[in-house]
Amino acid sequence: MSDLLRLRPAATADMIAVFDDAATIAYACAFETALAQGQAAHGVIAPDLAEAIAAGVDPARIDAAALAEEAALAGTLAIPLVARLRAMVGGAAGQALHRGATSQDVADTVLMLQVRAAHRLLAGDVRRVVDALGRHARVHADRAAIGRTLLQEAMPVAFGLRLAQAARGIGDALAMLDAAVGRHANLQLGGAAGTRAGLDDKGTAIAAQIADTLGLGRASPWHARRTGVAAIGAALGILIGALGKVARDVALLAQNGVGEAREPLVAGRGGSSAMAHKRNPTGCQVALSAATRAPGLVASLLAGLPQEQERGLGGWQAEGPVVADLFLLASGSAAALALVAEGLEIDEAAIARNLAVAEVGDDIGESMGVIAELLGEQED
């Protein structure tokens, strides 16, 4: 069974792969292997047991569909997964696997591994959008255009100013996401109640080694402290909204009777099944759809912040799918707008015509200086 017809129009194939079943299982297995290696390095289990675990754990041998059925019954992925891995490894090594950890350690660590990978993918396309908008803004830094406020013609502005503002907004949003991921995409290792019991008082050192092995940040247990997940999700929501701002403006500028800018012609994109003459802003559609869905997803993360005591019920379990959806939406939005921004068609004649019709002159004030300020600060 596949849901690519639902996912692929809104997200990139690479981002879908970050959160698919195979990746989730592989990340969970990587956690269990790194846990055993960290414990062996600090004398909690024998080195030969860690070696047997590393040799025996094979994500490719796990049937994702069967595991999903078992996880639905158990209420968590870790219970059936650990049972399968212990059987796979066998003997004393199998019994040593997962020592001192709990199901939420697996779930949270897998999610943060996916967050790190997803962030790397997303940042590349977002920077493409920022760079392309910046290039257009410089080219049109002194081109007078009619500014519009409250959706009505207002005073002249440089056409490049609205592009520079968009580039700056998206760049600022990406910086927020960079900071949130850098600070909060951390290993979770707390054990049953967040005390790291069962690790022979070596839990802090073991956790540090696991974090380094997996490429995650080091942190104290955060079972019921979900501010980091909420911060990552909120930053994603802001980024999706900032991308949506560009999509909204390009779609408005492309309207019949305005025609100042439009998406590039791409074979197979932007057509109509019923009206051959239409040229629809399909890239903008993807971004605006994402911006419509994102606020509700972010609200779900905020609603889950009042976690109960040492480990909550229902709150953190909702986070993984929500964070995945936010990254999926952001990926589709950024990839679509990268193509739009890089190939943006700007109609200089239409810009001049619309300004002349407005009869407000061509004084663009300090637009050029503001553009330089916005792009200069963004590049810093």
Taking the alpha carbons at both ends of the chain, their separation in whole angstroms is: 47
CA–CA separation, 87 and 71 (whole Å): 17
The residue annotated as part of the active site, out of 61, 120, 225, 272, is 272
Q: For residue 235, is it left (φ>0), alpha (ψ between -120 and 50) or beta?
A: alpha
CA–CA separation, 112 and 102 (whole Å): 16
Tokens encoding 12: 């990139």
CA–CA separation, 99 and 53 (whole Å): 12
- H or E segment and range at residue 259: none
Amino acid in position 294: A
Q: Kindly give, in sequence order, each residue whose CB lies less than 8 Å from that of residue 207, ignoring residues fewer than 6 positions away.
A: 38, 187, 189, 196, 218
CA–CA separation, 248 and 252 (whole Å): 6
Provide the CA 379 distance to its chain's centre, in angstroms.
22
CA–CA separation, 256 and 343 (whole Å): 19
Q: Where are the alpha helices (DSSP H) in the chain?
A: 4-7, 13-18, 21-41, 47-56, 64-74, 78-89, 91-96, 103-139, 159-184, 203-214, 227-253, 282-303, 319-342, 348-358, 367-379
The residue annotated as part of the active site, out of 86, 311, 331, 333, is 311
- Asked if 311 is an active-site residue, the reply is yes
CA–CA separation, 29 and 113 (whole Å): 12
- Asked if 135 is an active-site residue, the reply is no
- Catalytic annotation, residues: 272, 311
